[in-house]
A = this chain, B = another copy of it.
Amino acid sequence: MANITKKVSWSSRTDESGAAGEGTPLLNGSEQPRLSRQDSLRGRPKEIPHNEKLLSLKYESLDYDNIENQLFLEEERRMSHMGFRCLEISRWVVCGLIGFLTGLIACFIDIVVEQLAGIKYQVVKENIERFTEFGGLSISLILWAVLNSTFVMVGAIIVAFFEPIAAGSGIPQIKCYLNGVKIPRVVRLKTLVVKVCGVICSVVGGLAVGKEGPMIHSGAVVAAGVSQGRSTSLKRDFKIFEYFRRDTEKRDFVSAGAAAGVSAAFGAPVGGVLFSLEEGASFWNQMLTWRIFFASMISTFTLNFFLSIYHKNPGDLSNPGLINFGRFESESMAYNLYEIPLFIAMGALGGLLGALFNFLNYWLTIFRIRYIHRPCLQVMEAMLVAAVTATVSFTMIYFSNDCQPLGPEHTEEYPLQLFCADGEYNSMATAFFNTPERSVRSLFHNPAGTYNPLTLGLFTLTYFFLACWTYGLAVSAGVFIPSLLIGAAWGRLCGILLASITANGSIWADPGKYALIGAGAQLGGIVRMTLSLTVILVEATGNVTYGLPIMLVLMTAKIVGDYFEEGLYDIHIKLQSVPFLHWEAPATSHWLTAREVMSSPVTCLNRIEKVGTIVDILSNTSTNHNGFPVVVQITGSDEPAKLCGLILRSQLIVLLKHKVFVELARSRLTQRKLQLKDFRDAYPRFPPIQSIHVSQDERECMMDLTEFMNATPYTVPQDTSLPRVFKLFRALGLRHLVVVDDENRVIGLVTRKDLARYHLGKHGLEELQLAQT
């Protein structure tokens, strides 16, 4: 598993503007020239030697700590009580907007998918019916495969060529963002557009994917866009919400957006809130949580409202989200104490199957990184998968003779008679001839006897491998629904088997219950979420009764799965070498102190510093900092310099750009004082140091950093244990933590990478290596 050469697919492609904008304030300045060189070979991604035990230096941190410099304090002090209230109100307005837009997008995706898939199934069904009589079903197969491949091709092309970061479900990326890692281009408008079109194509293309994961990403992008009151892509600045143009506020809104996405996808507002909190918020803030909840609520509400109009039942808001599991009535679905061990066993099975899924997908991803890294290859793989999916489905329908009587109420939308007798339909066809959401629902709710055990078994097996092959393709699609579908299938199978081995089957009679438990177990085994997933499933089924069984099942699946392999999202995060901070420092890390983990020596700046020095430091490719401690040296004394503040690379860039030099300020008395607005206008795409011209004369000027530096950075003594440093860092969402000695002299700097390096491996505490990838 070690020492493989890989391409970092999330952010391997860097177009010129992006590289200039995002690439600059990298921790690692040295990458800059290489990037420019690579850019000339456009479309050909670079290959980076990669080792799984590496931690990439290319990811920046978000700054969740306010930069409390004099400008900021002045602004806050000028603001009246009423001003703060208005801010609070606008935060609510933004959250409402986020919820509304996310709901709209979910609605759009849902309707378009339903329409297109409807047309597709109708065409294929008619074709099959025509050829069933006259023979020559191979033509139907080809039609089906071509239709699917075409849709998937479109989806894969826009993802692979225009925005590779829109691939996959987007949940790992959002997890990283909420964790405090800046993933380039993840919350751009372009990403959103590609994501939405991509997910429509891949779902309509019949891949074993869901549209739920991408909703979470979409919600996050909406949030990041709306809250900033401008779009850099569209070059529009609405001059509103300028106060929110900083990492602290933006990340809060992105949490709300992700929650709104979950809420729209599953009709689970509380689950959405818990998802955001579980993944993102280390510092729980009551008002923030309410706003997140509000955004979630509005999102579900908007989706319901527009879907109710679409379904010609306007104003009826009692529908759930994108995926509708149908309502489980507790009367018919009661469970008993002695079923709990069975549920737990199913949880363990889910954990095992999930670990197998993740294991296969891990190797597949490694394979893809090695051999399938060109966009055209990626598109071809996606088309191949689409064609194979269609072929496998067709074959299984063809060879299955599981005929079921057509119900009087025609619950199946596209019943396919095929070789069945009149008045019957092919049951296997139903499983494939449906959007996966509908299949899950029918597995949950169809009365006992609808499915043949053999059909279910075969379906589980094929769908398992198809879903595993599909996840990680260059299409935008989620893994939730395929997991639920696999789980529901084998869960229902378990239910049927249990019913057949027990004679008096009244309590066992409902295999839908076991389908639900199986679905939970499989999904839990793959993604390894527990709290939020429990709530999402409870909300999606509309039944609180199943809370405890679902929780037990998810816990078991997590424990069993973790024993073999990490969660799917964690695998993909790890393969990107993202410096992801977990909730707590590794348990056995009390041995380590700040002195051992910190980066040292640190480049410090003087409070009044020569412009030339600053330019040199910023241009120096070996200076791998984004934050510089500011020190003060009493002139004439030989006392060591004391820490007096912290300034960020991005701030220095803005200062240089506006030429805030002491000499100029003296000569041009009328010069406008630099304001917070100037920093906010530059946020978040600060120009690179190379683009700022500093003349030789200006190099001799001095810059006074007093006003702009954060005068009260958090510090720790050098003997502080790692868990203590970690706790401070994580709880406050810091980006830089200055390590000082007992004379208040700077001796080091702790950053995210220094903390993320340590993790608990199989053999105790392990240390990842830092790499320039």
Contacts and interface: CB of A to CB of B under 8 A. Distances in A.
Interface of A: 66, 68, 73, 76-77, 79-81, 84, 267-270, 273-274, 277-278, 281-287, 289-290, 293-294, 297-298, 300-301, 305, 315-318, 320, 327, 330-331, 334-338, 530-531, 534-535, 538-539, 542-545, 547-548, 551, 555, 583-584, 587-588, 590-591, 642-644, 711-712, 714-717, 719-721, 724, 727-728, 731-732, 740, 742-744, 760, 764
Contacts of A727: 283, 732
Contacts of A283: 282-284, 727, 731
Given A284-B282, A287-B583, A535-B270, A81 B764 contact: yes
> Chain B CB within 10 Å — which of A267, A644, A744 has the most?
A744
A588 B84 contact: yes
A124 to B, nearest CB: 35
Nearest to A271: B270
**Which of A77, A297, A728 neighbours the largest number of chain B CB atoms within 10 Å of its CB?**
A297
A624 to B, nearest CB: 27
How many copies, total? 2
Given A542-B544, A587-B84, A712-B719, A338 B317 contact: no
B728 A642 contact: no
A318 B330 contact: yes
B721 A73 contact: yes
B81 A760 contact: yes
Contact of A712 (B269, B293, B301, B716): B716
A531 B292 CA distance: 10
B81 A588 contact: yes
B334 A318 contact: yes
Contacts of A315: 336-338
Given A268-B544, A270-B547, A320-B544, 12 more contacts: A73-B590, A80-B588, A84-B588, A294-B551, A297-B547, A297-B551, A298-B548, A318-B330, A542-B545, A711-B717, A711-B719, A742-B744
Contacts of A273: 531
A339 to B, nearest CB: 9
A547 B317 contact: no
Contacts of A543: 542
Contacts of A267: 544
5 contacts: A284-B284, A294-B551, A298-B548, A318-B331, A715-B715
Contacts of A539: 544
Residue picked from A277, A290, A555, most chain B C-beta under 10 Å: A290
Contacts of A327: 330
Contact of A68 (B79, B548, B587, B724): B724
A6 to B, nearest CB: 29
A588 B317 contact: no
A543 B273 CA distance: 18
A548 B317 contact: yes
Contacts of A338: 315
A293 B531 contact: yes
Nearest to A286: B583
B336 A317 contact: yes
Contact of A286 (B269, B278, B336, B717): B278
Nearest to A710: B724
A256 to B, nearest CB: 13
Contacts of A545: 317-318, 542
A301 B712 CA distance: 50
A317 B293 contact: no
A724 B68 CA distance: 8
Contacts of A760: 81
A711 to B, nearest CB: 6
Contacts of A268: 544
Contacts of A77: 590-591
A88 to B, nearest CB: 8
Given A77-B591, A588-B80, A337 B317 contact: yes
Given A81-B760, A284-B282, A590-B77, A717 B712 contact: yes
A397 to B, nearest CB: 35
Contact of A551 (B68, B293, B317): B293
Contacts of A588: 79-81, 84
A92 B547 CA distance: 18
Contacts of A534: 293
Contacts of A720: 712
Contact of A548 (B281, B301, B337, B590): B301
A241 to B, nearest CB: 18
Contact of A530 (B290, B724, B744): B290
Contact of A721 (B68, B270, B284, B335): B68
A728 to B, nearest CB: 7
A716 B281 CA distance: 24
Contacts of A337: 305, 315, 317
A328 to B, nearest CB: 11
The 9 residue pairs across chains A and B that have the minimum distance between CB atoms: A84-B587, A76-B590, A284-B284, A712-B720, A731-B731, A315-B336, A318-B545, A318-B334, A286-B583
Contacts of A764: 81
B281 A284 contact: yes
Contacts of A287: 583-584
A588 B83 CA distance: 10
A531 B712 contact: no
A111 to B, nearest CB: 19
A647 to B, nearest CB: 16
A300 to B, nearest CB: 7
A538 to B, nearest CB: 8
Nearest to A279: B286
A748 to B, nearest CB: 14
B335 A317 contact: yes
Nearest to A725: B712
Contact of A744 (B79, B84, B320, B743): B743
Contacts of A642: 742-743
Contacts of A301: 548
Nearest to A733: B731
Given A287-B583, A316-B334, A336-B315, A300 B548 contact: yes
A82 to B, nearest CB: 10
A293 B531 CA distance: 8
B548 A297 contact: yes
Contacts of A300: 547-548
A208 to B, nearest CB: 28
A543 B290 CA distance: 20
Contacts of A740: 744
Nearest to A741: B744
A294 to B, nearest CB: 7
A543 B66 CA distance: 41
A713 to B, nearest CB: 9
A717 B714 CA distance: 9
